[in-house]
Structures are given as C-alpha cells and as structure tokens.
Amino acid sequence: MATVESENESNSELLDPTLERRRKPRVSLIVVVPENHVVSPDRLAEGLRAHGDKQVDVLIACAGEPANIEAAQQSVGDAQLLVAPAGTTAEELRELAMREVPGDIVTLLSADPDARSSAEARAS
C-alpha cells in the first residue's frame, strides 16, 4: 500500500518556526544630489561604513548631471543612477528614489552645495 502525504502535512514543515530561516532586511542608501550640488566620495564612503559589513544597495538620485558623478560611482562601484530633469527639487528626488530602492531600511544622504556654482552665482 502506498503512502499518500496530505497537503497540510508537507506544508507544516515549511511553517515550523524552528525550520524557517529569517530573511535579513535589505539596506539601501539614497544619495540626493539636487542641481548645483556635488557628491563627496568621502561622505559617501562614510555613509556606507555606517552600515558595517552589511550589503548596501546604493542609489544616487540627481537633478541633471552633477559635475563629479563619475567619482561617486567609482567609489561605490555598483551604484544605481537615477537622473531626473534639471531643476527637480531635493524633496522630489527623495520621493522618486524611495520608489526605486529595494531596501527595508533606507538611509538618506544629501549632497553638498557645489562651491564653484555658489561662487559663480555670487559673482553675477
């Protein structure tokens, strides 16, 4: 006589808390770069170090093309880049980025004002 396993019996093993593996929360870092701002690779590295040895998904949200975006991408390697139209506000960039990141835990890092753009604005 063959033994037939019921559906409830096979699923009960999956529901047993002693057998279930806990999923680690994903961590994301969003770097918000409004127009006339730059990403400091040092601040970016500091933001990543704050998460210790956890894997961090990095998304750089920019309004237009920031001057030093290549340096920021090189310091992270596999950062995702979200480029919004020039003039997009920091609040709008945050909102756009929050929709895109996969993390359960999200850290926001704001870019610094571009000293060159500030100096040019004062000179005119």
Instruction: Note whether residue 84 is domain-resident.
Output: yes
Instruction: Note whether residue 89 is domain-resident.
Output: yes
pLDDT category of residue 124 using cuts at 50, 70 and 90: very low
Name the domain count of the chain. 1
Alpha-carbon torsion, ordered 46, 47, 53, 54, to 10 deg:
-170
pLDDT tens-place string over residues 63-86 = 988 777 777 777 777 888 899 999
Residue 24 is classified by DSSP as: P
pLDDT category of residue 15 using cuts at 50, 70 and 90: low
Instruction: Note whether residue 82 is domain-resident.
Output: yes
For residues 46 and 59, the model is more confident at: 59
User: Which residue segment(s) compose the domain that 100 sits in?
Assistant: 28-123
Q: Compute CA distances 96 → 24, 63, 86, 100, 115, whole Å.
A: 25, 11, 14, 7, 26
For residues 17 and 102, the model is more confident at: 102
Instruction: Note whether residue 38 is domain-resident.
Output: yes
